[in-house]
Chains A and B, each alone.
Chain A
Amino acid sequence: MKLIKILVLLLTLISLTGCYNYKELNDSAIVSAMSIDLDEDNPEKYKVGVQIMNAKKKENNNVSEIAFFEASGLSIYDALGSIVLSSPKQLYLGHMEVVVLGEKILKQKSPLDFLDFFMRDSSAEKDAVVVVSREKNASDILKILTPLETITSQNLKASLFNSADFSGTTNIVTLDELISHLMDDSKEAILPSVELTGKVNKGENIDNLSDSDPDVRIRFSNLALLKDDKLIGYLSNNESFGYNVITAEAGNTYIKFKCDNENYATLELVSLKTNEEISFKNKKPFVNINNETKTNIVEYNCDLDLIKDDKIIDEIQKKAEKRIEYLMNDFLDKAYEEYKTDVLHYGSTFYKEKRNEMKKYGYTTKSIKDDIKFKVTSKVKVDAAGLTVKSINNKEDKRER
């Protein structure tokens, strides 16, 4: 009898679908990317756009269609709530991969004013990559159907990872990293940016997909600099690279330099290490940045014969060292001299390690950045020269013949 009672209870439990938190996958809209802008009509409101991956099944095949919904509200959640009015499904933020922030909103407002929702909501993805849309609205980026992949945000994320790996001029910043950087005393952060090239209005069209050379492309631009929670400017190519070298994130990238008067050589970076030593010299803060790099020669368009002349390697190494030092200095000048920012967070590093001296010489974590002197040294080692020991541009060989 007891068993029957338990069985009946269990059956009721199941048949009434009182199941805790049970929800079907296809009743939810999987948000892959989100754009946040300021509403142009009402500057108090945020304009939030979401890209939904599983909007609809395409006829004939099992590929989903991507849809874009947009609405404005006084808070992020308010805007998302308005989106639900136009979308038949509930939004699910657990697989959000990219958050695009508009350039305007970053210039006018602090991200800390509106990003609280992402840290508070249990289902929202904290690992989403944050990018700045350069010169355009964030929603414009998401509206472009991209030629390479079926899902815009995945394309964005994949090419961001690729370019961070290969070109070294972008950087990957996730939502939680951005927030923790901004919560630091210096309130400074670096973000990658994207821009649109071509005729923007055509991109929303499905024809953009079928062209092999589409009218509109999404292209990664250089790093954006945030000071006091606001966007103040962009770094150049060289400066972006310098930043990545100092933070040792330019792992698989390359450097190029002139090896004679007209031709260039390219070195592939195999491993990159950067040490920082901080100290006080003459009562002034001093940072010594030591870089150690291992490289392979991937391209050498000048005269080269490693068999005859092994000192040439030293020469190449010296040239590369010069180049890397130049790149790092370039970034440091821009960030610390021109913009007076402390994106490398030396303020807090000094506070952690040299607190007593800091107090003695009357610096605070905020003020110390203006007086820091840098010394940059680089050591490059060429590990391999590829398959040939001579370059095809070898002049001596030609003479002999």
Chain B
Amino acid sequence: MTSSNKREKIVNTLKEKTNNAPDIKYKDFIINKQNVTFIYSMSVSSSTSINDFILRRLDEEKGKIKDENIYEYIKNFIPNNNIIPFDKKEDISYYVMSGFTVAVFDDGRLLAFENRASIYGSISKSENERGLKGPSDAFSENYQFNMGMIRRRVKTEDLWIDEKTIGTKSKTKVAMFYIKGLTSEETIRNINEKLDKINIDYVGNTNYILEAMSNTNRFILPTNLSTERPDFAAQMLMQGRIVLIVENSNEAIILPCLFLDFFKNPEDYYEKGLNVIISRTVRFVAFFLTVFTPALYISLMAFNWESLPSGLLISFSVQREGVPFSSIFEILVMSLMFQILRESDLRFPGKGGSSISIVGALVLGQAAVEAGVVSPITIIIVGIASVSSLAFSSIDLINACRWWQLFLIIMAWMFGFVGVLFGSLIILATLVSQSSCGVPYFSPFEPFSLKEQPNVIIPTKKEKFHPKNIFKKDGRKEK
């Protein structure tokens, strides 16, 4: 019986190492009193080929096999184009994660059959997060494919997956990915507890889970990243984060998340680090333009004329000549019109979208100025603010910026520069006080870490090639 123990030992070690991953299956066969265990991963291998060519064949011919040496039989008579005999137990996980089926025999001998699933035929391109470089495959609505897409990128057995079923009626599967030893235990426990506590009827997409997990709704900015790019999810896993995949949802959630993450795009890592400095700086500038331009314009127009050069002041004043509305009203109306245009552009089916843009540009821009309804400078200001807001791929961030923009406009309207200053202090206070899954949201600025500062603006080689858990110093408890 010692030889049988060998097989069981191998199987148990693997189970232990992968934390009994939900997508890895173990199938036992008893042929001629000899045991064989087939190990395969549901997410990366093709279940039809495993069913048809391995499991069914063995099932049908179990009784007929007289061969004493079952290893030779399986090696020679299972139809497969790529059969690899190997000895190292450590390689099992690599073969399994790569889409092989591994047969473990009683005497500890190992065989790998290739059953890689070709899922890429049904994978669509990422539409909402487009990048110039990098892979363009996107998560689909298929749960197993989504798991496979991450498995293919991170083949280590340390990639652990916890699976849960959430939703009393929908019974939706939620998989939680993390890399064992990299992600902090506290974060894992934290999120696990939260997931267990969720008591909802139906899970529509990832957002249901997020809303159910969070305790507060008062914070406007998203405290999580959602992405449809598996390469981004894999990148984030390597930084010690947790990735949640929800059945029937084409997005993955990344937790915890920092404010800074919205300024880092996945393709930053596919480019030369030095060139990324400019792209990131542009994103920071765009963020400030989005939030501050309308408010600063209003305070300049209504309160703080002395801070404008004379020539500009006259030009502003002449442009406003004959416009019947106050500048705050103009700004609010034009911003609203832009939001309506954006909304209708999104909803309008297919090819009609561009006609709306033309109507928007001509009617709301040029014609309104010529008719003297709005001043040209207002159009410029609203244009700057709106275009800069589109520099981010995160829809959540864009929508959050609208609130801040409006808040600062009202502050500027009431108190000018002083109001804008106080408004930005309030915004800063909310940013600094927030945390995402126990991690300070505004780090590495608060708590300040000098060592992390280079990573803010440039993807350093160290960060790129050997990412570490960026949340190692968990300083704060979550509210």
Residues of A within 8 A of B (CB): 10, 13-14, 19-26, 28, 30, 32, 53-54, 56-57, 62-64, 92, 94-95, 97, 123, 125, 151, 154
Contact = CB atoms under 8 A, between A and B. Distances in A.
Given A54-B321, A62-B319, A24 B314 contact: no
B413 A92 contact: no
A54 B327 contact: no
A54 B308 CA distance: 15
B323 A26 contact: yes
Contacts of B302: 22-25
Given A22-B302, A22-B303, A64 B318 contact: yes
Interface residues of B, number: 25
Interface in B284-328: 301-303, 305-306, 310-311, 313-323, 326-327
B310 A97 contact: yes
Contacts of A22: 302-303, 413-414
13 contacts: A19-B413, A22-B413, A24-B301, A24-B302, A25-B305, A26-B317, A26-B323, A54-B314, A54-B321, A64-B321, A95-B306, A97-B310, A154-B311
B415 A20 contact: yes
B321 A95 contact: no
B320 A94 contact: no
A346 B352 CA distance: 81
Contacts of A10: 410
A250 B48 CA distance: 92
B416 interface: yes
B317 to A, nearest CB: 4
Contacts of A54: 314, 317-318, 321
B314 A64 contact: yes
Nearest to B375: A26
A118 B287 CA distance: 41
B313 A25 contact: yes
Contacts of B416: 21
A123 B306 contact: yes
A57 B314 contact: no
Interface of B: 301-303, 305-306, 310-311, 313-323, 326-327, 410, 413-416
A62 B318 contact: yes
B292 to A, nearest CB: 19
A25 B305 CA distance: 8
A30 B314 CA distance: 8
B256 to A, nearest CB: 29
A63 B314 CA distance: 9
Contacts of A151: 314
B310 A154 contact: yes
Contact of B322 (A30, A57, A94): A57
Contact of A25 (B327, B413, B414): B327
Given A26-B317, A26-B321, A30-B317, A21 B303 contact: yes
Contact of A30 (B313, B319, B327): B313
Contacts of B415: 20
**7 closest residue pairs by CB, A with B:** A54-B317, A57-B321, A26-B320, A64-B318, A94-B306, A95-B310, A53-B314
Contacts of B314: 30, 53-54, 64, 151
A300 B475 CA distance: 75
Nearest to A150: B314
A24 B327 contact: yes
A64 B326 CA distance: 20
Nearest to B314: A53
A151 B410 CA distance: 35
B324 to A, nearest CB: 11
B413 A64 contact: no
B310 A25 contact: no
Contacts of A30: 305, 310, 313-314, 317
Given A54-B321, A64-B314, A24 B305 contact: no
A212 to B, nearest CB: 24
Contacts of B301: 24-25
Nearest to B418: A20
A94 B410 contact: no
A22 B418 CA distance: 13
Contacts of B316: 25
A121 to B, nearest CB: 12
A222 B410 CA distance: 52
B306 to A, nearest CB: 4
Given A21-B416, A57-B322, A154-B310, A64 B305 contact: no
A14 B319 CA distance: 25
Contacts of A26: 317, 320-321, 323
Contacts of A25: 301-302, 305, 313, 316-317, 320, 327
Contacts of A154: 310-311
Nearest to B413: A19
A95 B304 CA distance: 11
A57 B225 CA distance: 51
A264 B92 CA distance: 97
Given A20-B414, A30-B310, A95-B305, 5 more contacts: A24-B326, A57-B321, A62-B315, A62-B319, A92-B305
Contact of A19 (B310, B321, B414): B414
A26 B375 CA distance: 12
A64 B310 contact: no
A374 B306 CA distance: 45
A19, A25, A30 interface centre (most CB from chain B within 10 Å) = A25
A57 B327 CA distance: 18
Contacts of A64: 314, 317-318, 321
Nearest to A13: B414
Nearest to B298: A22
A14 B321 CA distance: 24
A21 B418 CA distance: 12
A24 B413 contact: no
Nearest to A26: B320
B413 A14 contact: yes
A339 to B, nearest CB: 36
A348 to B, nearest CB: 32
A94 B306 CA distance: 6
A57 B316 CA distance: 11
A19 B327 CA distance: 14
A56 B321 contact: yes
B320 A24 contact: yes
A160 to B, nearest CB: 15
